[in-house]
Amino acid sequence: MNLKNIGVKMGAYLSEAYGSDFPYPPTQIRSYTGEELNQLGYQALIYNNEDEKEIYSKIHGIVETIKEFYWTTFQLVGVDGEGAIPPFFVHYPEKNAYYALKKLKHFVFNNEFASQPDVVCHEMTHAMIENHNLLGNQGEAGALNEAIADIVAIAFKRKISGIDKGWEISTFRDLSTAPEKFKSVVNYNKDNDYGYVHDNSLIISHTFYLASTSLNYDSTHCDLLLGIWFKSMLDLKDKTFTGFKSKTLEANEEVFFQGGSIIINAIKKAWQKTSHLFPNA
């Protein structure tokens, strides 16, 4: 990341940061009103009752905490390194959450997922990946996108909960579950989840889980492991599973002065257990 050396006022609400070239704008939270979310469909969130007020307050607090996590973990201000946070739309009528990157970028959540920190962080991390190394939403690259979003979301959830061994992303995926062989398709479409990106992502995210358990959840080593996964995503040019694996193995003791060999050995052992699941393996 090409980040400047910025001074940020640390605290619960980083959107009040000052002394930075990249201050945060206020977080925008609005109501989903259909019409393909075009500009005419946007409405400011109006509190019709206490439940709606609670949703607004909850997602606002989650977003502020994620901002702080991005800064303390990745030295990242916003999803683009310059403070940008796309607007959030709640009250989505379907049970879903997603990040839309076409034309006007935004997040959409039904009210249940808007209240779940791991789901919110997962979607925000998609936006962060899109701004730093676009992986898209299909094939191997799309599966890598999903895997990194899951891993960052798990790290965030564990950080705020104080629970070291939770690996579930809401009710969607459990990163501790052994994945199946990579599922290949000729044509990507919605029916096959654009190349089974969520199923295939587990090969990458489960490898991270295996390396973490090998490190006995040591906080220093696991933070460095997360840094390796994140940097590998940033630097990735060969957007395949093999390319990503190679990137994670390029780190060494000179790069990570605290326990470098221990971490690299954990990564190597983890890949030995999952590489046979790669496409064409």
The amino acid at 269: K
Assess whether the region 14-132 and the region 139-277 belong to the same CATH fold: no
How many CB atoms are located within 10 Å of the residue 97 CB?
21
> CA 209 to CA 215: how far, in whole Å?
10
In the numeric block, the tokens 């940020």 are attached to: 8
Domain range 139-277, CATH architecture: Orthogonal Bundle (1.10)
Q: Which of 75, 73, 72, 131 is nearest to 99 (CA)?
A: 131
Looking at residue 165, the DSSP 8-state letter turns out to be T
> CA 38 to CA 93: how far, in whole Å?
16
Q: Are 217 and 165 in contact (CB under 8 A)?
A: yes
pLDDT in tens, the chain (281 residues): 333 322 333 333 444 443 455 556 667 777 665 444 445 445 555 566 677 778 888 888 899 899 989 988 988 888 988 888 888 888 888 899 999 877 778 898 988 999 999 999 999 999 999 999 999 999 999 999 999 999 999 999 998 887 666 899 988 899 999 999 999 999 999 999 999 999 999 999 999 999 999 998 888 888 889 999 999 999 999 999 999 999 999 865 445 555 568 888 999 999 999 999 999 87
> CA 168 to CA 10: how far, in whole Å?
29
The amino acid at 212: S
Q: Tokens at residue 23, please?
A: 């201050």
Looking at residue 191, the DSSP 8-state letter turns out to be G
Q: Which of 86, 150, 157 is nearest to 117 (CA)?
A: 157
Predicted pLDDT of residue 178: 96
> CA 16 to CA 20: how far, in whole Å?
11
Q: What angle (nearest 5°) sits at the alpha carbon of residue 53, between those of residues 51 and 58?
A: 95
> CA 139 to CA 233: how far, in whole Å?
16
CATH among 3.40.50.140, 3.20.20.370, 3.10.170.10, 3.40.228.10 for 14-132 = 3.10.170.10
Domain borders along the chain are 14-132, 139-277
Angle at which helices 219-235 and 241-248 cross, to 10°: 130
